[in-house]
């Protein structure tokens, strides 16, 4: 995950210097699987707004990353 403080969500691209407003998101939800949880290639940087809205809605509908 080399995001340079930039939201990787398509259409967003927000650059955020305040790291408290960024989330290390699992591209493919880990659902308790330790291998997926710790896999650095399964992480992306999202701004909190994208993570808490769009991404969570997707996961509730059963979609992956």
Strand ranges, E, within 4-51: 22-26, 43-47
| CB-based burial label for 47 (10 Å; 0-12, 13-18, 19+) | buried
The whole-model pTM stands at 0.73
**pLDDT tens track, the chain, 65 positions:** 456 899 999 999 999 999 999 999 999 988 899 999 999 999 999 999 999 887 777 767 766 54
SS3 assignment, position 6 = strand
Eight-state DSSP code of residue 22: E
Domain positions in the chain are 1-52
């Amino acid at each position: 995950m080399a995001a340079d403080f930039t939201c990787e969500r398509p259409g967003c691209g927000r650059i955020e210097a305040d790291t408290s407003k960024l989330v290390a998101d699992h591209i493919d939800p880990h659902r308790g699987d330790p291998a997926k949880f710790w896999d650095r290639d399964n992480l992306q940087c999202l701004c909190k707004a994208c993570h808490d809205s769009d991404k969570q809605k997707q996961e509730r509908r059963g979609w992956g990353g």
